[in-house]
Amino acid sequence: MSAIAIRGVRKSYGKTEVIHGVDIDIADGEFIVIVGPSGCGKSTLLRMVAGLETITEGTIEIGGRVVNRLEPGERDIAMVFQNYALYPHMSVYDNMAYGLKIAGLSKADIRARVDKAATMLQLQPFLERKPRQLSGGQRQRVAMGRALVRDPAAFLLDEPLSNLDAKLRVQMRLEIKQLQQSVGTTALYVTHDQVEAMTLADRLVVMHDGVAEQIDTPMAVYARPATTFVAGFIGSPAMNMLSVEAAGSRGLTLANGRTVKPRDIRLPEKGRKAILGVRPEHLTPVSGANADLELDVAAVETLGADTLAHGRLAGAANGSGELVARLPGSTQVQPGDRLPLAIEPGMVHLFDAETGARLEELDLPARPARTAKPLAEALNA
């Protein structure tokens, strides 16, 4: 039985449909992150699970119970808001105890639960303070504590870290993950930040324009993005996308007329238009004869461990063929250079030119996972 099941959920405001049928099955104890750009419907979806928005169509189950018609308070969930939504006129203790008092727990019971949560979150010294006397990180913890004391079936978190500064965000990210693992409660977490998404999630839901484009583990989303949108959204710098046309056994024709023949990939039938995607970290500088493509360098960013070479595909028409390569930090490269690059074997992604959907490489041999190190680098960029 899944902890939360979202089935065919749609949401319309008047005649405008903003969520076009989303299905997600969340296992008990799983940490699911919904990620997407602003306006993709991720918060709306979360608020429908919470009961703060009505569900236009479809059903949402929490703990095997259809909750479509239940009040938020009856759904056995707890939510952490972006602005924390702490009750400003109540002390930290009262903030955390509010829901328990309404639930009718005994005073001793409430005290025990709040004390336990406060100890876990190191909030003991602040229990008598008002929210305005706390720092951003402490407020964030109180919001977590308020969710924690209720021991719900699921935590819903709506961009809980976006009001914190960068350093605190990294710290709280870890704390949230550890906390969720130690209490083992299912969590549904909404963010627009791909680093948060990748580091926190057991499974990612990448949303775009009201559609869940891919639901999979972070590594799978990185290694096999289902659509061009997912490919471009996850990973930094974003994946390079080049329009190509299949040229039979010669490979793929690039916009500049040259052909490239990626190894270990089944090519589409001749004449079919496609999009070739390759991550900047999967381009390696080689000697001219072995090059798959050439990059006319326009700008260089030195990050220390890596050097990013921005430019365009040699010979491509203006406004097309944008290309970025992530090179080792020691690489000497100047704007104006023409850089011969090879694509690492198996690291080519092909997408349909019209739908943007991934073209499956069904008969490819399984490849050893080579993505671990570049991913870590991509996220630290």
Partner 1 sequence: MQTKRTIFGNRVLPYALLLPQLAITCVFFLWPAGQAFRQSFLREDAFGFKTRFVWFENYEKLFADPLYHNSLWVTVVFSLGVAFLSLVAALILALAVDRTLRAARTYTTLLVWPYAVAPAVAGIMWWFLFNPTIGILPYMLEMLGYNWNHRNSSVDAMILVIIAASWKQISYNFLFFVAGLAAIPHSLVEAAAIDGAGPLKRFFTIIFPLLSPTTFFLLVVNVVYAMFDTFAVIHATTEGGPAQSTNILVYKVFEDGFIGLNLGSSAAQSVVLMAIVIVLTVIQFRWIERRVQY
Binding-site ranges for partner 1 (CB under 8 A): 50-52, 71-74, 77-79, 81-83, 85, 87-89, 98-99, 102-103, 130, 146, 150
Tell me which DSSP letter residue 14 carries: T
CA angle 296, 299, 300 (to 5 degrees): 110
Alpha helices of the chain — where are they, by DSSP H?
A: 42-50, 92-103, 107-120, 136-149, 166-183, 194-200, 218-223, 228-233, 372-380
Contacts of 253 (CB under 8 A, 6+ apart): 244, 245, 246, 247, 259
C-beta closer to partner 1: residue 147 or 342: 147
Token code pair at residue 65: 């119970």
C-beta closer to partner 1: residue 26 or 97: 97
Q: Which residue has the tokens 């639901």?
A: 215
C-beta closer to partner 1: residue 49 or 275: 49
C-beta closer to partner 1: residue 78 or 123: 78
C-beta closer to partner 1: residue 130 or 370: 130
CB of 91 to partner 1, least distance (A): 11
CB of 234 to partner 1, least distance (A): 29
- CA neighbours within 13 Å on the CB side: how many for 172? 21
Question: What are residue 269's phi and psi, to 5 degrees?
Answer: -65, 155
C-beta closer to partner 1: residue 79 or 121: 79
CB of 49 to partner 1, least distance (A): 11
CB of 152 to partner 1, least distance (A): 9
Helix or strand or coil: residue 60?
A: strand
C-beta closer to partner 1: residue 150 or 282: 150
CB of 88 to partner 1, least distance (A): 5
**Residues 285, 330 contacting (CB under 8 angstroms):** no
CB of 205 to partner 1, least distance (A): 21
C-beta closer to partner 1: residue 53 or 361: 53
Cis amide bond preceding 160, omega within 30: no
Q: What's the rounded Cα separation, in Å, for the pair 13 and 2?
A: 29
CB of 97 to partner 1, least distance (A): 10
CB of 38 to partner 1, least distance (A): 17
CA–CA distance from 258 to each of 32, 71, 116, 251, 293 (Å)? 43, 61, 66, 10, 8
CB of 304 to partner 1, least distance (A): 40
C-beta closer to partner 1: residue 159 or 196: 159
CA angle 190, 221, 152 (to 5 degrees): 35
Q: What's the rounded Cα separation, in Å, for the pair 96 and 183?
A: 17
Q: What's the rounded Cα separation, in Å, for the pair 171 and 121?
A: 13
